[in-house]
Amino acid sequence: MNTIRRRGRLGVVLAGAAALVVTGLSAPAAAQNDIPDVDEVVHSKNIGHVANLPKEGPFEGQDAFNSDIAFTKGHAIVGNYNGFTIYDVRRPNNPRVVSQVLCPGGQGDVSVSGDLLFVSTDYARTNDSCTSEAAPASNPDSWEGMKVFDISDLANPEYVSAVRTDCGSHTHTMVPAPERGSVLLYVSSYSPAPDLPNCQPPHDKVSIVEVPTERPQDAKLVSEPVLFPEGGNPGDGYSRQTTGCHDLTAYPEKDLMAGACMGDGILVDISDRMNPKVVERVQDNTNFAFWHSATFNNEGTKVVFTDELGGGGMATCNEEVGPERGANGIYDLTGSGDDSELEFRSYYKIPRHQGETENCVAHNGSLIPVEGRDIMVQAWYQGGVSVWEFTDSDKPEEIAYFERGPLSDTENITAGSWSAYYYNGRIYSSDIQKGFDVLHIRDPRTAPANSVRFDEFNAQTQPSYGKGR
């Protein structure tokens, strides 16, 4: 965890009362308020746990959080606060470590394009090297931002270049720009302060870094578009003030981006890649504390926004917090261009309560590519992994789940699934403490996804699938 400057790293959501009628599931123990034992694995009948590789080497420690995942050429690249690990998943039931790079800086958000890997650094460091040390963010010479690696040899990644960005890079979103012979990285960061020389208020912008695909060593900051020229949500004591964005998800084929920006959910027109334009903005000051991330459905007619209630370390998957605060928000997208509108339809939260020592929140997930249905797999930290359907925006329901019991039954230790994504027939979960998990869902509703294959997959750069692909 960053002891120099903390910018609201994870997120906390809660499980609501077990009121959803879920088909195809074994009765979850927590429906009777039964919490699994420490490290006990429980799951629905239609999902199997086929592999786990524990954290190893310099990533073994409790503070070395596993974070996001990107996929390329049958390999999963798992970010970590201390760097990243590349796994060969071409035999998904028998994954293996190919390489590991020690390059501390938190939180290690990753994306991939061709032979290039991009890694976010969000904690102030003494310099941009992989041997840097933690530094006060109040030091004007401290560094944080984007790092670029050449992964043409997956067994021997090569550090190529780095670009400093204001307030660092909490997350980033890769958007291909083949017409420019480059890729663009939309960098999200937030929480400026007057005493932080490299993170000054106001910070109502994103940073765009351009990386030439043939000369990645020439990566540079090319634009800093302001998304909230008149300021974002001022905050009201429950909803967070908007001072930047936490996460952006692009749907390049549709020239759209959805942004989760602290106190605001936004829809962005990116037809002019260098000049993104906010065309719709929504707030939920009753139930959303911190807009955390976003996912489009395949048709681009819905957006699922997630909340980050509590900062990621709180036990809020319980009856006390309730079924709406901290949940996913499902919005239908109507109209187009400047006439686009986001219409709220419902909330979704896992229907299992978690223990007092379990941090639990809706976090990173992706679509399961089933044409004609809206199905998503999603990480919930110590709430585990949930597969749920929102084809009917008003009646989301869980299809499958996997979780472990608490890491500890005496203290609240940050743990659980940070990211859970579907890639080429399996679900892959990056567990903060337990390492790399592989799950196999066997359900008629998700079966069509088994035939969909992507060579490269970044959850925040959504591809299309099906007949329109």
What is the pLDDT at residue 22? 29
pLDDT digits (tens, 9 = 90+) for 171-216: 999 999 999 999 999 999 999 999 999 999 999 999 999 999 999 9
pLDDT digits (tens, 9 = 90+) for 277-316: 999 999 999 999 999 999 999 999 999 999 988 877 888 8
Burial of 343 (0-12, 13-18, 19+ CB in 10 A): middle
Give me the amino acid identity at 50: V
Helix (H, G, I), strand (E, B) or coil at 312: helix
Per-residue pLDDT band at 33 (split at 50, 70, 90):
low
Residues in Cβ contact with 152 at an 8 Å cutoff, skipping those fewer than 6 apart: 115
Residue 68: pLDDT over 60: yes
Residue 27: pLDDT over 70: no
pLDDT digits (tens, 9 = 90+) for 384-417: 999 999 999 999 999 999 999 999 999 999 999 9
Q: For every residue of 83-114, which 3-state class applies, written as one string?
A: EEEEEECCCCCCCEEEEEEECCCCEEEEEEEC
Residues in Cβ contact with 337 at an 8 Å cutoff, skipping those fewer than 6 apart: 269, 279
Mean pLDDT of 251-277: 97
What is the pLDDT at residue 466? 82
- Give the end-to-end CA distance of the chain in Å, rounded to a whole number: 41
What is the four-CA torsion angle of 31, 32, 33, 39, rounded to 10 degrees?
-80
Count CB neighbours of 25 within 10 A: 22
pLDDT digits (tens, 9 = 90+) for 327-346: 899 999 999 999 999 999 99
Residue 212 preceded by cis peptide, ω within 30: no
Per-residue pLDDT band at 324 (split at 50, 70, 90):
confident
Question: Contact, 122 vs 169, CB < 8 A?
Answer: yes
Residue 24: pLDDT over 90: no
Q: Retrieve residue 290's tokens.
A: 């911190």
Of 281, 247, 279, the closest CA to residue 262 belongs to 247
Q: Model's pTM, two decimal places?
A: 0.93
Burial of 52 (0-12, 13-18, 19+ CB in 10 A): middle
What is the pLDDT at residue 467? 59
Least confident among 71-80, 287-296, 460-469: 460-469
Q: List, edge to edge, every strand of the sheet that includes 66-72.
A: 96-102, 83-88, 75-80, 66-72, 456-457
Question: Contact, 223 vs 208, CB < 8 A?
Answer: yes
Of residues 35 and 267, the one with the higher pLDDT is 267
pLDDT digits (tens, 9 = 90+) for 157-171: 999 999 999 999 999
Question: Contact, 248 vs 460, CB < 8 A?
Answer: yes
What is the pLDDT at residue 18? 24
Mean pLDDT computed over every residue of the chain: 91
Question: Contact, 131 vs 114, CB < 8 A?
Answer: no
Task: Locate the domains of the chain by residue range.
Answer: 29-457
User: What are the φ/ψ torsions at residue 449 (nearest 5 degrees)?
Assistant: -65, -20
CATH 2.130.10.10 for the 29-457 domain, yes or no: yes
